[in-house]
Structure 1
C-alpha cells in the first residue's frame, strides 16, 4: 500500500543517491580531469564533504583514489559503509559537521557539489567551512565546489522533476522552492520523492533551507579566505574544455579552488 511521510530524505540514502546516480560518472570524470589540469603534484587523498550515501566516494575509490567521506547523517554513513563492503573497497568514513572539521592527514583535494555547500545557512558557518578546508588541504591542494548562484534578477519560482531507475526501483524526485527571501539570503526547497519498488510505493517529503549567493556575494566570502584562489570556473555540464566566465550571468557554478602554496 502507498503511504506518505514527512522525513529527512537523507535518512533514506538508497533513494536519495539513486535520484542523482546518473550524474556520478560525469562528475567523477570531471574531478579526475581537474586534478590532472590544475593539480600541483599527484592527487591521491580526497575528501568528499557532505558525501551522503557516498555515490562519489564509492566511484572515486573504485578508480583508485584514497577517499574520505564526511557527513553528519549516520543513516547515510551506514549505507556508505555497506556499499564499500559490498564492492570490497576501502575508504575512510567520518561522522562530522562540514561547517567545522579536522582530518588527521593532509588532503590533496576536497569535493563538495550539488549545492551541499548552501546547507551552511550563515556566513559564520560558511567561513568556518572554508577555513576547515584550507586547514585540511596541503599547499597546492584543490577544492572543487559546485552550487547554484542566484543572480539578482533570478526568478524565485522554481519547479523541477526527474526520474531515475535501478533494477525494479524507480525514484521520481520533485523539487520546488516554497520560500524565498533575498533579504534573509535564504530559500527553502521542498523535495518530494516518489519511490516505486514493484507493487510497493513510498512517498517522502522534506524541506531544506539553503543560503542564497550572488556572484559578488561569493566573491566577498572568498576574500575573507585569502588562502584560496580561483583557478577556473565551470558549469554543471562538467566540460573541462569549456570554462565559463565568473560574471553576473552565471548560475550553475563549479569552482576549482586551490590553496596557495
Structure 2
C-alpha cells in the first residue's frame, strides 16, 4: 500500500468521513444541553475550530443561525462547500480559536472532539476561553470536550475505527506515541487507510497535544470568571448521566455558562 506523509486535516474528505459518521449522538446531546442549561433561547451558535462543519451543518438545517472558524484553509473550504450544496450560506472563516472576535454575540458555542488540546500553552488556552466568554451572550452555554490525562497509567492508548460512504472506506488508527508530563506534551500518531474502487493508500501523520489533568483543567477554568462550570459529562453523551471527575477521568465534556 502506498504511504503518504501529510497532515490529516489537509484531507477533509477522509477526516469528515471518520469523524462525521457518528454525529447523531453529539447532535442530540448538544440540543439537550442547550435546552437544559442555557438561560436564554438558543438561536445563534458558534463553533471555534469547526473543521469540516459536520455538526454545524446539521444545526443549520434545523434552523439555527451558525458560524465557525478554523485555522485549516482546506477544512474551511470543505465546510463552506458543504453548506452551499445544501443551499445554505457559507458560514466558516479561517481563524484562530484563541484569537477571534464576533460582531454579534452568540447564545451557545461548542468544541467537542479534543481540538482544544492543540492549543500549545496555558496562555493560548486562557485566550481561547476569554474569546468564547466574550463571544457569548449572558446566560449562554459553551460545551468543551477533551481527553484528560489520568494521574495513573493511561487506560486508552490506541483507538481504531472505520467508516464508509458509497465506494469509499477509511480505516483509522490513532495511538499515543509518548507522554511528557513535565513538558505537558503527548505525541499522537495517526493513520488513515483509504480504499476506493481504483486505489488504496495510507496517510500517516503525527501531531502534538497538550496534556491536561483534571486538576489542571479545574485551575484553568477558574481563571476565566465569566464562564461558570455547570455540569460535566463523558463521551457517552447521556444528558441524564453527568459524571464526577477524579484523577483517573479521561473523556469529559464541560458545560460552561456565561455569567
TM range (shorter): over 0.9
For the pair 1:234 / 2:233, whether they are aligned, the reply is yes
Structure 2, unpaired ranges of 5+: none
Report if aligned partners of 1:169, 1:197 keep a CA contact under 8 Å in 2: yes
CA distance in 2: counterparts of 1:242 and 1:177, whole angstroms: 28
| 3-state SS of paired residue (2:176) | strand
Instruction: Give the 5 Å matches for 1:203-242.
Output: 203-242=202-241
Structure 1, unpaired ranges of 5+: none
Q: How many aligned positions are there? A: 259
Task: Note the alpha carbon deviations across 1:148-207, whole angstroms, 9 max, x for none.
Answer: 111110338712211011111101001011121011111011110011111311211111
Report if aligned partners of 1:69, 1:91 keep a CA contact under 8 Å in 2: no
CA distance in 2: counterparts of 1:44 and 1:247, whole angstroms: 34
The residue number in structure 2 matching 1:28 is 27
Task: Note the alpha carbon deviations across 1:118-156, whole angstroms, 9 max, x for none.
Answer: 000210110010001111111111000000111110338
Q: Return the offset for 1:246.
A: 2.3
Q: Return the offset for 1:89.
A: 2.1
CA distance in 1: counterparts of 2:30 and 2:159, whole angstroms: 26
Q: TM-score, normalised by structure 1?
A: 0.96
For the pair 1:81 / 2:74, whether they are aligned, the reply is no
| 3-state SS of paired residue (2:163) | strand
| 3-state SS of paired residue (1:126) | helix
* TM-align CA RMSD: 1.3
The residue number in structure 2 matching 1:95 is 94
Report if aligned partners of 2:50, 2:69 keep a CA contact under 8 Å in 1: yes
CA distance in 2: counterparts of 1:202 and 1:60, whole angstroms: 33
The residue number in structure 2 matching 1:246 is 245
The residue number in structure 2 matching 1:106 is 105
CA distance in 2: counterparts of 1:168 and 1:54, whole angstroms: 22
The residue number in structure 1 matching 2:114 is 115
User: Which consecutive segments of 4 or more residues in structure 1 shift more than 6 A?
Assistant: none
CA distance in 1: counterparts of 2:240 and 2:41, whole angstroms: 21
Q: TM-score, normalised by structure 2?
A: 0.97
